[in-house]
Amino acid sequence: MSKPIELLFVDDDIDFIEGCSRWFEKKGHRVSQTTSGQDGIDQCSKHDFDAVILDWNLPGLSGIELVQRMRESNPETEVIVLTGEGTINNAVESMRLGVFDFQTKPFAMGDLERRCIAAIERRRLRKENLQLREVITRNRKQATAMIGTSEPMQRLGRLIDRVAPTDKAVLIQGESGTGKELVAQAIHAGSSRSERPLVTLNCAALPENLVESELFGHEKGSFTGATAMKPGLFEVADGSTLFIDEIGELPLALQPKLLRVLEDGSLRRIGSHKERRVDVRIVAATNRDMKTEVAEGRFREDLYYRINVMALDLPPLRERNGDIELLLNHILDKDHELDDDARQALVAYIWPGNIRQLINTLVRAKILADDGHITISDLPEEVRTPMTPMAAIPIPFFGSLITLECQHIAEVLQRENGNKSKAAKALGIERRKLYRMIEKHGISC
């Protein structure tokens, strides 16, 4: 036996409770006893018993009254009712009041001990459930405010307000760092499911073979390493919202299984024949072009239409006029200030990594800054340099390779103020070769 059970016997049959007490104490449990219902209630309010074993027909108080008052004085204590004459009505009534079990005398002591152990298990699970809820509530991410008043952000805000309460599947598309997860949180917060926690799976963060078990769960022994049964995130999110991030990375083989849950809410854990039903709203996000994924056979068309009932496109930061300034003010704290050059460089930069990159840049600058004064030298090279890095140019270049080469050399030369040694180094070529190219393209410098 692991932990001794703390028991209270309440029965007016003194020989009976003494007999029970001796038996339970011999087994190592701790037993209190009383012949009075009122005294039982008082003891219960002062002491945290694991279980109370109660006679239904005590003089003075009716069984119902006694159970009610006992549960009021300590709602966590489990009650097991014992009675000489068990009627169905009494049994039903006591169960309605939350009594764990209803037993008629006589009974075997071993049976009663097993019922007590089961009652304690229920009490433990209830307590664990409360603790987990508390942890979830405390850990629930404080919804980050979405900063931005640009036209695209206003449009997005209006769409979120419309879409959130509908319970429809939503596909959020946008470049990395544009705030897709934040949008998913806003949709969940604006839905009727917001009381429950938002459950998240990032398909790109898990090896392919684990995604299925994570989403749909598995039975014990269903594959090597499945040492215990595990419910999947669909079951965890039952009644709530499941945010599937990077859905474009979902393995093709798993897509029919996801389609099925979306169609009728049914799923099977790996290794199980049992069909389970869940009620989950799906919000998915991707930074891939899903139409291309479908066209190139990497994503099922039917699934694409299922998750794309409502599509939200997040604009990149460079298209949100005026939002960079707002974000800068939001991210900087009162102990840090930006000088004009630094501010100008930050506003002018095109932010291929979007808001995440902006946040990281400022976090770094705050660490480097002297006395909280951020200057241009605290910013990374690519932000400091007024020239747009070619790799980050968002607009595709449709000219010939020769024109591109020519433009690029001219831009690098200009950035290096005509210094050919530096320009050659930046281009990764020999100085002699640079000269030849300047001549070939007739670049003036």
Applying CB under 6 A, the residues found at the interface with ligand ATP are 144, 146-148, 174, 176-182, 245, 285, 287, 355-356, 359
Instruction: Tell me if residue 52 falls in helix, strand or coil.
Output: strand
Residue placing its CB nearer to ligand ATP in the complex, 180 or 188:
180
Residue placing its CB nearer to ligand ATP in the complex, 157 or 271:
157
Choose among 258, 280, 241: nearest CA to 203: 258
CA distances to 107, 131, 176, 289, 314 from 246, rounded to whole Å, are: 59, 32, 10, 11, 14
Q: CA–CA separation, 6 vs 50, rounded Å?
A: 5
Name the residue with the smallest CB distance to ligand ATP. Answer: 179
Choose among 301, 164, 157: nearest CA to 241: 164
Residue placing its CB nearer to ligand ATP in the complex, 288 or 422:
288
Residue placing its CB nearer to ligand ATP in the complex, 177 or 352:
177
In the bound complex, what is the minimum distance in angstroms from residue 205's beta carbon to ligand ATP?
10
Residue placing its CB nearer to ligand ATP in the complex, 101 or 323:
323
In the bound complex, what is the minimum distance in angstroms from residue 146's beta carbon to ligand ATP?
4
In the bound complex, what is the minimum distance in angstroms from residue 186's beta carbon to ligand ATP?
10
In the bound complex, what is the minimum distance in angstroms from residue 323's beta carbon to ligand ATP?
7
Residue placing its CB nearer to ligand ATP in the complex, 37 or 174:
174
Instruction: Tell me if residue 284 falls in helix, strand or coil.
Output: strand
Q: What angle do CA 413, 414, 416 make, to 5 degrees?
A: 65
Sign of torsion, CA 305 311 315 316?
negative
Choose among 369, 309, 350: nearest CA to 162: 309
Instruction: Tell me if residue 313 falls in helix, strand or coil.
Output: strand
Q: Please measure the distance between the N-terminal and C-terminal CA atoms of the chain and give it in whole angstroms.
A: 89
In the bound complex, what is the minimum distance in angstroms from residue 64's beta carbon to ligand ATP?
54
In the bound complex, what is the minimum distance in angstroms from residue 200's beta carbon to ligand ATP?
10
In the bound complex, what is the minimum distance in angstroms from residue 304's beta carbon to ligand ATP?
18
Residue placing its CB nearer to ligand ATP in the complex, 89 or 142:
142
Instruction: Tell me if residue 259 falls in helix, strand or coil.
Output: helix
Site of tokens 């794309």: 308
Q: CA–CA separation, 95 vs 89, rounded Å?
A: 10
> Can you spell out the DSSP letters for 338-388?
E-HHHHHHHHHS--TTHHHHHHHHHHHHHHH-BTTEE-GGGS-HHHHSSSP
Residue placing its CB nearer to ligand ATP in the complex, 91 or 327:
327
Rg of the chain over all Cα atoms, to the nearest angstrom: 34
Alpha helices of 140-150 — where are they, by DSSP H?
A: none
In the bound complex, what is the minimum distance in angstroms from residue 181's beta carbon to ligand ATP?
3
In the bound complex, what is the minimum distance in angstroms from residue 147's beta carbon to ligand ATP?
4
Residue placing its CB nearer to ligand ATP in the complex, 149 or 414:
149
